[in-house]
Structure 1
Amino acid sequence: MSRWRALQESDPAFDNPFLSPEFTLTVGELRDLVQVAVLYDGPEIVGFFPFERHPMGIGKPVAAGLTDAQGLVHVKDLEIDARRLIKDCGLAVYEFDHLVSGQPLMGPRSERFPSPIIDLRDGYERYTAFLKDNSGKTYKSTLAKSRKLEREAGTLRHEYAVTSLEPLRTLLGWKTDQYRRTGRTDRFAHQWIVELVERLLATQTDSFAGVLDMVYAGDRPVAGHFGVRTRTTLAGWFPAYDTAFAKYSPGLIQHLAMAEKAAAAGIEVIDMGRGQKEYKDKLKTGELEVAEGRVARASAAAGVHWMMRVPVRKTRATVMANPLLLKTADKALKTYGRFRTVIQR
């Protein structure tokens, strides 16, 4: 694990907790699908390739569908044959949707997408100065709503890096409600994901930790977020809030509070992850780049995978890139979510 850590810390491109050895090891404790290929150049370890092996030789990133950074952790300027790598791993295909930039696995057909970040390297005050210049209306209205929330519901309190399970379970309950309300699949219906989050919260080291923070009005929890961090990067993962406080924009209040505490704790970047969300556009200072695509060998399994996955992926990318189509799809999902909620009741 020390070599993995050394390689990760040698390149800023790998400074993401989803690429940390602790994350892969924790998922591996819960899923037999997880494997790690160790790459050698003579006696020297030059890289680690964590992946999941699914039926028919289909390879996916560790905790596929959950993570916002994927790929190898390796020495600088590593040259490998990507198809040879997946062959040696016993895979017909390796598919990815958040591959970090500069990866040997990134082919010419990979599609690139922005991953918004909050840059805190110059401190929280410089960040708020940036917001005033670039999202002034959002920043001022969030402060005003914060004051209004405090007047109407009680003194605001923000607790950062909480380690108890009770507030985490409150947050996951909000997130489940959000998934159902918006027509999305409830990730926390899978027990292994719940247990993964709980184990990550219990992992607290200098180089890797689960980070839970909550905002309270009086004694009532209003909003929160759970993510994971390295020494200097916090990955945004599961934000949620109590819908009873929706008119106060509690998510924005929580993100600003989190940014302030994170900066004070040594966090330099909050990676909010790929995906078009209004709050990300309002809070971001810049963007990283991630890629979506696949590496495949000539095989029947790869052909079946292409027919099942690639056309769907391209259609989804088309929808995500078109604001009108995205708005229509989001509206349809929310309608489905309301219908499903009524049926369940």
Structure 2
Amino acid sequence: MQGWERLRQLQPEFASPFFSPAFVAAADAARGGDVEIARIRRGDELVGLWAFHRIRGVAWPVGRCFNDAHNIISANIPPIDWRWLLKELNLKAFHFHSLVGPTAGLADQDCFETIDAFSLQLGDDSPATLRRMEQSHTTLKKQQQKTRKMARELGEISLEIDCRDADLLDKTIQLKREQYLRTKPIDVFAPQWPHKMLRHLFEKPRHGAYGMLSVLRAGDQLVAAHYGIREGDLLHYWFPVYDPRFAIYSPGTALFKSVVRDATQHGIRTIDMGYGEPSYKRKQTDTQGKVIYGVTSHSSSYHAWHRLQYQTQQLARYMPFKQQVKKWMRTVASHSNPLQLS
């Protein structure tokens, strides 16, 4: 464990809780013990650690699509060649969707796309940071009026930033599943293991990385909730959700503002919003980075096939009637089983 934490200190990106032993252990326990950990040495020195799932000879990030930051944990000096590593482990390929940190060990063609990632640096005065963000983004500033209206009509607004009620965790996941069924082709919580993983992190003692549930109430009604993973002074904003009955009040934004306002007094200095392009991330953050999506493989045919798939998906973005096709797909596939999460 000491070697693991020593390696994590070599790159700032490895501060993400997704590189923590606790997250790896939670995913392993939830999935029945299928996590493998490669230890890379030069002589007697441990120079790298890589945790992954092996599925039909192919490696995937620990926690699959729930993992928002992955890589080999190493200084990468000299670089660890990915294709050499895959051959040593008898793996055909590694699929990554949010690679952070050193990339010198990848071939140029392995990186299919770079994707924006966002975070909010709170420092030692999160209320001041919130006031500054309100001046920059009218959505945050106007939320004050909606929150006051919600208080008048529903009851006093209160935040429980670290709620320990397991029943409310279950309710939060159910609300998130209902949101996915309304908006996405895949319910990522359809398998049992993601729920088990979140519960495992939720039940951990308050040291290392652990799951943190924040709930916003209006009177005695839960109007919004967020389940994140916290380690030290960093909170990864993972699964925000709100009760659609109260959508007129924008309770999700109200929850985020409440978490930011109270963050300093709870020791949170950074909120990592992860990667992707939802507009709210740009409105609620002040720091932008990049993650990498792609595939590395020593099999040229395997690599070429998956690169072709990616290029086809990119072309589909510019299809005529794209929105109508997406709406149809979401309708017919809304209850599909996410086999890629198995």
Q: TM-score normalised to the size of structure 2?
A: 0.89
Match of 1:230? 231
**Displacement, 1:61?**
0.7
Partner Cα separation in structure 2 for residue 100 and residue 50 of structure 1: 14
Match of 1:313? 310
Q: Which amino acid aligns with 1:186?
A: D
CA shift digits 1:215-260 (9 cap, x unpaired):
0111110100111122122112111110000011111111111222
CA shift digits 1:68-100 (9 cap, x unpaired):
101111136342222111111211111101000
Q: Which amino acid aligns with 1:159?
A: E
Q: Secondary structure at the match of 2:208?
A: coil
Match of 1:303? 301
User: CA RMSD for the aligned pairs?
Assistant: 2.5
**Displacement, 1:330?**
5.5
Q: 1:327 to 1:6 in 2, by over 3 A?
A: farther
Query: 1:14-163 counterparts in 2 under 5 A?
Result: 14-31=14-31, 32-55=33-56, 57-75=57-75, 77-109=77-109, 110=111, 111-135=113-137, 137-163=138-164
Gaps of 5+ in 1: 341-345
Q: Secondary structure at the match of 1:188?
A: coil
Higher deviation after alignment, 289-298 or 117-126: 117-126
**Displacement, 1:263?**
3.0
Q: 1:164 to 1:107 in 2, by over 3 A?
A: farther
8 Å contact kept, 2:59–2:94 = yes
Q: Secondary structure at the match of 1:115?
A: strand
Gaps of 5+ in 2: 337-342
Partner Cα separation in structure 2 for residue 208 and residue 338 of structure 1: 32
Identity of aligned residues (%): 29
Partner Cα separation in structure 2 for residue 105 and residue 249 of structure 1: 44
Partner Cα separation in structure 2 for residue 285 and residue 303 of structure 1: 41
8 Å contact kept, 2:76–2:104 = no
Q: Which amino acid aligns with 2:128?
A: R
Q: 1:102 to 1:193 in 2, by over 3 A?
A: same
Q: Which amino acid aligns with 2:11?
A: D
CA shift digits 1:46-71 (9 cap, x unpaired):
1111111110x211111111111011
Higher deviation after alignment, 142-151 or 106-115: 106-115
CA shift digits 1:96-126 (9 cap, x unpaired):
0100032344432312111111111253133
**Displacement, 1:294?**
1.5
Q: 1:257 to 1:316 in 2, by over 3 A?
A: farther
Q: 1:100 to 1:197 in 2, by over 3 A?
A: same
Q: 1:193 to 1:323 in 2, by over 3 A?
A: same
Q: 1:44 to 1:122 in 2, by over 3 A?
A: same
